[in-house]
Amino acid sequence: MAVRSTGPKRWEHELSEASAYSAYSTIRIERAGDRIAWVYLNRPEKRNAMSPQLHMEMYHALDELEIDDEIDVVVIAGAEGNFSSGQDLKQFFRELEDKPDQRYLMEQRYCKWRWDRLSTFPKITIAMVDGWCVGGAFTHLVACDFAIAAEQARFSLSEVNWGIIPGGMVTKAVVEAMGYRDSLYYILTAEELDGARAAQVGLVNRAVPAAELRAEVERLATMLMRKNQHVLRASKQACRMVMRGMDNDQSLDYLGAKFTQLKALDPSNGYSTGLSSFVDGKTYKPVHDPYPRG
């Protein structure tokens, strides 16, 4: 008779592996106690290029942050003045070229933090962009819910200049953010965009002077944290779902179901609280503020 293992189950092992990842070598996480986690890609000497080790660490960091009750907002940035120079051309491209199995596993699993994990992440995510943002870095830039850039940030889809197309999810991400016309222009020309231009074409929400970048991200995070986190989570899921391939009838049906689901699952009963604060208590106006939370 087969003996059943009494050891940890696979998911338990994965989880403990994730929490063991507090000692990262290619990323740095700052928790300032204000419910914001500042996650820095931390290979400044390589302009924060994404190596296989960095992908693995980001994958586990998102696991950690997703279940961290003390965090509402995750900011993704780059250490020492550059967001990221994209995939590591040496460690990711060249060194995995003759290791197709390793590269396949890397792409199937750890690279997924940049799109599958981030774009469906339950908490609010903000990309804070200074310096260079190149190639593969557009994926996690667009996957974040918000992006705030320094005016002198430098964006480049460099791929055509060295003989490849923007692969992975890069092309999908930029078309989703900028639309067809501007995406095609910047993909084919590899022309650089600064922060202000990136804001014009919809790649980031806004550009601010570099000295104000962190404060602007904090302002946005703080404003969002005053709101009902369950409603924000449902709203961002709804935006992604209707954008990605639902027709009008499907959207109407889905949004109706989501509305009902939120009412049933929101432990703070935001719907009734908001309604009675306005209609009965006359204590606030929804266009100005979130309802006062107990």
By CB under 6 A, tell whether 139 contacts ligand COA: no
Secondary structure of 211-272 as H, E, C letters: HHHHHHHHHHHHHHHCCCHHHHHHHHHHHHHHHCCCCHHHHHHHHHHHHHHHHHHCCCCHHH
- Binding test (CB under 6 A) with ligand COA, winner from 52, 135, 195, 270: 135
- Binding test (CB under 6 A) with ligand COA, winner from 56, 58, 65, 134: 134
Closer to ligand COA at the Cβ: 21 or 110?
110
From CA 40, how far away is CA 78, in angstroms rounded?
Answer: 5
- Tokens (6 digits) for 252: 């109407």
Q: How far is the CB of 82 from ligand COA (least distance, A)?
A: 7
Closer to ligand COA at the Cβ: 136 or 195?
136
By CB under 6 A, tell whether 49 contacts ligand COA: yes
Do 150 and 207 contact (CB within 8 A), yes or no?
A: yes
Q: How far is the CB of 194 from ligand COA (least distance, A)?
A: 14
Size of the site for ligand COA (CB under 6 A): 14
Identify which range of 84-92, 105-113, 193-201, 267-275 contacts ligand COA by CB under 6 A. Answer: 84-92
Do 88 and 50 contact (CB within 8 A), yes or no?
A: yes
By CB under 6 A, tell whether 221 contacts ligand COA: no
By CB under 6 A, tell whether 90 contacts ligand COA: yes
From CA 213, how far away is CA 231, in angstroms rounded?
Answer: 27
Q: How far is the CB of 52 from ligand COA (least distance, A)?
A: 12
End-to-end CA distance of the chain: 57
Q: How far is the CB of 160 from ligand COA (least distance, A)?
A: 10
Q: How far is the CB of 163 from ligand COA (least distance, A)?
A: 11
Question: What is the arrangement of strands in the sheet containing 73-78, beginning at the earlier edge strand?
Answer: 27-31, 36-41, 73-78, 124-129, 146-150, 206-208
Q: Cα–Cα–Cα angle for 280, 282, 286, nearest 5°?
A: 110
By CB under 6 A, tell whether 277 contacts ligand COA: no
Sign of the C-alpha dihedral computed for residues 175, 81, 74 and 43 taken in this order: positive
Closer to ligand COA at the Cβ: 76 or 234?
76
- Binding test (CB under 6 A) with ligand COA, winner from 29, 46, 54, 224: 46
By CB under 6 A, tell whether 136 contacts ligand COA: yes
By CB under 6 A, tell whether 132 contacts ligand COA: yes
| SS3 category, 101 | helix
Do 203 and 193 contact (CB within 8 A), yes or no?
A: yes
User: Contacts with ligand COA in 158-197 (CB under 6 A)?
Assistant: 158
Judged by the rule CB under 6 A, the positions of this chain that interact with ligand COA are 46-47, 49, 85-90, 132, 134-136, 158
